[in-house]
Amino acid sequence: MKVFTLPLFLLLNVTVTWGQQATQSIAEAEITTTTQEMDEHFRCGFSGGDHEEHHHFESWIKRKKEELSEGNRTDEILTIPVIFHIIHFGEAVGTGTNLSSDFIEAQLEQANNDLRKTLGTSGHNADSRGADTRIELRPATYDSDYNILDEPGINRIHSGDYGFSTTTTSYSKSFINNTIKPATQWNPNDYLNIWVCKLSGILGFGQFPDISGTTLEGVNLNGTASTDGLAIEYRAIGSTERPNPNATGAYSPYGLGRTLTHELGHFLGLRHIWGDGDCSVDDYCNDTPVSDGANYGCPTTHQSCGTLDMVRNYMDYTYDNCMNIFTHDQKARMRTVLYNSSRRVELLSSDKADPPIPLPVELSTFNVRRVGKDAHIRWETSSEYNNARFILSKSDDGINFMELHTEEGRSNSSTPLSYDFIDPKLPMGTTYYKLSQIDLDGRITELGTRSLEISSNTIITMYPNPCKGVLNIEVDESIKNKDCTISIFDMTGRQVHSEENAIGQLIRKIDISHLESGFYILRYNYDNRTAFKKFNKI
């Protein structure tokens, strides 16, 4: 349990419960972060290791660390997919509890700098005990259905949509565990779930790993999957480079993102650096000095138990700008949990943070137009990846399609490409064209459907227009053998010309040189249908 003491000017009398064992009345308000195992017992807090389960866990992790060392898996970079559930009250993005993606990105960068001891950042230290854990957080790119997230690693949740609260009331740890988490959690085998919201009097809390499913005789420590993850006060999300502007007053020392780093340590099996007890209690890391309690602020010269306290360790209670070290033993412990603990080891094989698979084809254009009596189909791609071929299908009802044409793809290309196909002699009515693409591995992707209508006005073509002498009337092949009458009217409705068209004649030439200049309407009657065309006599 991580307790941050507020300034003394906020003195009041409150009661804080530690685990399930002790209740202590204190004379100052505290911001507390709690790590708990959500089964029958808490396994972290101020109990000082008295729970029998603590000893079982330590026995298990010691054995697993030895196995890990023998397997020489200490240098592999381990990545954890992360989804931030931002619980907000309906504010605009970037306002209040609805943090902008900039702060989520800053928080991830801070956590990774801390985990990797990144040179040139606030996560670096020159202490020989300081370790690069070679663990990284990676924002999720996909949701559970493999839809690409609009904001990587972010799931925004309006509290009112779930009935949590429509006001700015803060949430208790109990409400988050019993109500918010089960209703909003994504599969904890695929994601590290991090809930970001307005917490009631605490900076954050996380769930300790369990050892269910192991061969540890007589022990079954089943952590509750529906509550697994971290909960972080929204004012504690940020970084040393991008401090959270909401972290004012009592929260001002904690807006640099180290609460998440601390709680992540608990999530991966780390205890508080003083072991939650006096000098006789251990945190099970040989390279962290024994201490008799938590440190606050940044007392770099403070000694206890005969040694200098490691106040800059992420698992102490010092200010955010004081923390900057995980040790080699802490690294080994975290990696052991990741390789062995249920719901932790599964995260290593999750693909939810993998880079988005490139679209097989980026289609920039797909058009169908009438050219004379034919349909001219053209599609253009801006890039192609793993593309075997295109299939063009045709339908007269938009439902039942038959394959019309196959066009070989270019496999892989990053340059624009174009494809053309002509479908001749279209019938009257509407024709539908569907374009599909097939990968080299056989996967089919539909790229779109287009339609082209051939009406009575589109089966005759008139040219030139404007016309001075002879007007050409070209008819579609489908009506060339139908009787027809051609009439021309001026704009007052007076008929100025009429004639019968010969059967089988595709082009009829009409001399209009005798007509006065101006606009006219040509009427073409055939098979109880009528088409109208307007032309300009010059």
CATH number, domain of 387, equals: 2.60.40.10
Tell me: do 63 and 173 sit in the same domain.
yes
For the ranges 267-281, 320-334, 500-514, the lowest mean pLDDT is seen at 500-514
Verify that 448 and 511 share a domain, yes or no.
no
Question: What pLDDT does residue 53 have?
Answer: 57
- Structural domain contains residue 422: yes
419-430: average pLDDT: 86
Residue 4 has pLDDT above 60, yes or no: no
Tens of pLDDT, residues 233-256: 999 999 999 999 999 999 999 999
Residues 149 and 35 occupy one common structural domain: yes
SS3 286: coil
Residues 106 and 218 both lie in one domain = yes
20 within domain boundaries = no
Closest CA to 208 of 95, 81, 45, 82: 45
Number of domains in the chain: 3
pLDDT at residue 359, as a whole number: 73
Residue in the block written with tokens 């300009």? 536
Q: Identify the band that residue 11 occupies on the pLDDT scale cut at 50, 70 and 90.
A: very low
150 shares a domain with 55: yes
Question: 256: domain CATH number?
Answer: 3.40.390.10
Residue 355 preceded by cis peptide, ω within 30: no
The pLDDT of residue 48 is above 70: no
Q: How confident is the model at residue 477 (pLDDT cuts 50, 70, 90)?
A: confident
Same domain, 105 and 230: yes
% the chain with pLDDT above 70? 82
Which pLDDT value is given to residue 44? Answer: 31
pLDDT for the residue numbered 393: 96
Residue 470, classed as helix, strand or coil, is strand
pLDDT of 525 reads 86
pLDDT recorded at residue 14: 26
- Which domain-ending residue is among 286, 317, 349? 349
* Predicted pLDDT of residue 46: 27
* Residue 85 counted as domain residue: yes
pLDDT of residue 32: 42
Domain finish residue from 421, 454, 487: 454
Q: Does a structural domain hold residue 208?
A: yes
Per-residue model confidence (pLDDT) at position 66: 65
Q: Are residues 98 and 140 in the same domain?
A: yes
Residue 1 lies in a domain: no
Structure tokens at 214: 């192991």
Same domain? For 403 and 505 the reply is: no
For residue 426, the model assigns a pLDDT of: 78
Average pLDDT over residues 476-481: 74
Phi, psi of 266 (to 5 degrees): -65, -45
Q: Is the pLDDT of residue 259 over 70?
A: yes
**pLDDT tens digit string along 274-316?**
988 899 988 889 999 999 999 999 999 999 999 999 999 999 9
As a whole number, mean pLDDT of residues 485-498 equals 92
Q: Is the pLDDT of residue 36 over 60?
A: no
Do 412 and 343 lie in a common domain? no
Helix (H) or strand (E) holding 461: strand 460-463
Predicted local confidence at residue 458, as pLDDT: 67
Structure token digits, residue 322? 């004081």
Q: What is the mean pLDDT of the chain?
A: 83
Q: Is residue 292 part of a domain?
A: no
The span from the first CA to the last CA of the chain, in angstroms, equals 93
Confidence check: pLDDT of 15 > 50: no
Total number of residues shown for the chain: 538
pLDDT, residue 237, reads 98
Distance from CA of residue 369 to its chain's centroid?
Answer: 38
Show which residues are catalytic: 263
Report residue 488's pLDDT band, with 50, 70 and 90 as the boundaries. Answer: very high
Asked if residue 4 belongs to a domain, the reply is no
Phi, psi for residue 376 in degrees, rounded to 5: -105, 115
Cα 377 vs. chain centroid, distance in angstroms?
Answer: 36
End position of a domain, from candidates 454, 469, 484: 454
Would 290 be classed as within a structural domain? no
> 269-285 pLDDT, tens per residue?
899 999 888 999 888 89
> Is the confidence at residue 142, as pLDDT, over 60?
yes
CATH number at residue 524: 2.60.40.1930
Residue 507 confidence (pLDDT): 82
419 and 487 share a domain?
no
What percent of the chain is predicted at pLDDT more than 90? Answer: 57
Q: Are residues 339 and 261 in the same domain?
A: yes
Domain carrying residue 512: 460-537
Closest CA to 58 of 329, 292, 343, 269: 269
Alpha carbon distance 39, 20 (integer Å): 12
Q: Are residues 465 and 450 in the same domain?
A: no
Q: Of 321, 295, 318, which is closest to residue 308 (Cα–Cα)?
A: 295
**Which of the two residues, 507 and 92, has the higher pLDDT score?**
92
Q: How far apart are alpha carbons 312 and 300 in whole angstroms?
A: 8
Residue 64: its pLDDT value, please? 67
